[in-house]
Structure 1
């Protein structure tokens, strides 16, 4: 389709409401339907778009699929894959919160459904859209930093999620890696031309104690700290550290640093902020500023999807990267074992 797409929103908690407001204010799509099990959440969102239809579940959206062009999904992780597939099979484009699936088989099934339906699918990997990463990626793509041999990724959150399902791997897919680390692993693979991951080592902890790796129907415990090393096909070493509830002395420590034979570059958060980032280019001991706050980046992934949908975009082959990303996470959870053909609990058949 082209023109002004009609969108439904499923899940109107904090992040769903934020993406609703971003798309509404961008003006490239119409907000046609609001759905959430909480009548209070629906009522609050309806104040912004009073003409929108309302409902509570994906079934309500599917019943009105002929009146819609796409759906924005911000429901609990366990529902993402099945809801996305249902929407795509009904002919709706999908913008989904991460993770798209709790494992690679779920993710692969959603991407296959998008391909079969020729519908635009995107996931809210929002850090790609920060001004900081938009400044750094071209340096890497153009070879300005030489051969990249090391990448350091950090995402420590002094808090943990406030909903119980996050702490059950059968519902969430995992802990801090799939919740936070996914953003930074995505950035590394996205910036480095999707290089194949040839090696994975991972140490996962829960409450300060090592957590056994999962390869099948294992315990539902999730990690709150992870130290991961990925080796890429060109020899680049990527180190990831991420956590929930780490006593870091500030709300958050977030960064992605790239080091090459011709220099380095890094994005870092300022003062423990979850939202304010700088980007710098390094040459020996010298640093050059590339980007700094303010930068209202949080809704850009959603508004970009809505704009592409308005322009008539169908299936985007780039979303195949989502499967690769999920495969890497599965290998992390398996402690480095290649589990691309192995499903963790919750596989969509």
Structure 2
């Protein structure tokens, strides 16, 4: 893969297509339209109610019947995909091969092979590819990341990752392994695995051991059921220990528990949700028994990853080899967690 220099900044606004405009799709759409030089050129969603709600955000957009019809429009600059996971890789590849940039909900693919195929299509078409790994873009995690990169907590030797969701998804396809690619690890854990690997510069992971459960019983087959609880231990080539625990429908005593804690030779740092919130996060620095708050709410972060992608596209940025390799390496770890 060869890096390319960004082209000159475009003088016109971006014309974007939005495929899948349920709650998450509309949230990303609203943020991108509000914060970038973009317009919603077209919308694709088989649910007329979703399309009608999206049209309220972009009254001049057209509602098309398919991605294929959308991609026939030459003026289209990029496509934002927020469909069920089984469609992500195929739709991303189709859009990229049509010469359109892509911003896709996670997971980019259900397996590492699917992710590799999407990244390859991005490279072949030299089109920008973004994935909605949204916690990277919170102010709280950015503070933790910068602290660690500055050497403030020394060399990191242990990482604790937790994402417990007391509810779980409300769509049936999440519980179908063929459509989702996995359960709570694919839905929730992927965010935290990405945060840990990104912060540690994507180290080689020499050992992955996982225990996956469905309704309290250890899973031995993934053909019919997906996990709703996972405990995973990973060890890097530098002997950094990374522990992940995530779940759906657990008695967590609150709506959610979301944490990424890093322990180093000079101190610690943590990214944590507040009072069970899915949206409010704090960043903390630890020194012995002392806690220093680095960042506290509010922070309107939920659509920020898409905004960054749209701004990079507006600046003429094309395929990013480093980002592509990161998407692949995270997907490979998820595959190993599932024993694939």
TM, length-normalised to structure 1: 0.93
Separation in structure 2 between the aligned mates of residue 89 and residue 176 of structure 1, nearest angstrom: 31
Q: CA deviation at 1:262?
A: 0.6
Please, which runs of 5 or more residues in structure 2 have no aligned partner? 1-6
SS at match of 2:57: coil
Q: Say if 2:51 and 2:63, in contact at 8 Å, map to a contact too.
A: yes
Q: CA deviation at 1:265?
A: 0.2
Matches within 5 A, 1:14-163: 14-64=23-73, 66-163=74-171
Matches within 5 A, 1:119-268: 119-212=127-220, 219-268=223-272
Report the equivalent of 1:295. Answer: 299
Q: CA deviation at 1:47?
A: 1.7
Q: CA deviation at 1:211?
A: 0.4
- Could you report, residue by residue, the CA deviation over 1:261-298 in whole angstroms, capped at 9, with x for unpaired residues? 01000011001000000110000001111100001110
2:16 equivalent to 1:11: no
Aligned structure 1 segments of 4 or more residues deviating by more than 4 angstroms: none
* More displaced 10-residue stretch of structure 1: 18-27 or 199-208: 18-27
- Residue correspondences, number: 330
Matches within 5 A, 1:264-283: 264-283=268-287
Q: Say if 1:141 and 1:193, in contact at 8 Å, map to a contact too.
A: no
Q: Say if 1:12 and 1:42, in contact at 8 Å, map to a contact too.
A: yes
SS at match of 1:47: helix
Q: CA deviation at 1:57?
A: 2.2
Report the equivalent of 1:343. Answer: none
Separation in structure 2 between the aligned mates of residue 60 and residue 160 of structure 1, nearest angstrom: 34
SS at match of 1:170: helix
Report the equivalent of 2:4. Answer: none
Q: CA deviation at 1:60?
A: 2.2
SS at match of 1:264: strand
Q: Say if 2:156 and 2:262, in contact at 8 Å, map to a contact too.
A: yes
SS at match of 1:67: coil
SS at match of 1:195: coil
Please, which runs of 5 or more residues in structure 1 have no aligned partner? 340-349
TM, length-normalised to structure 2: 0.95
Q: Say if 2:36 and 2:311, in contact at 8 Å, map to a contact too.
A: no
Q: Say if 1:202 and 1:332, in contact at 8 Å, map to a contact too.
A: yes
- Could you report, residue by residue, the CA deviation over 1:110-129 in whole angstroms, capped at 9, with x for unpaired residues? 00000110000010000001
Q: CA deviation at 1:80?
A: 0.2
Q: Say if 1:38 and 1:56, in contact at 8 Å, map to a contact too.
A: no
Report the equivalent of 1:307. Answer: 311
SS at match of 1:161: coil
Q: Say if 2:134 and 2:305, in contact at 8 Å, map to a contact too.
A: yes
Q: CA deviation at 1:144?
A: 1.7
Separation in structure 2 between the aligned mates of residue 53 and residue 190 of structure 1, nearest angstrom: 38
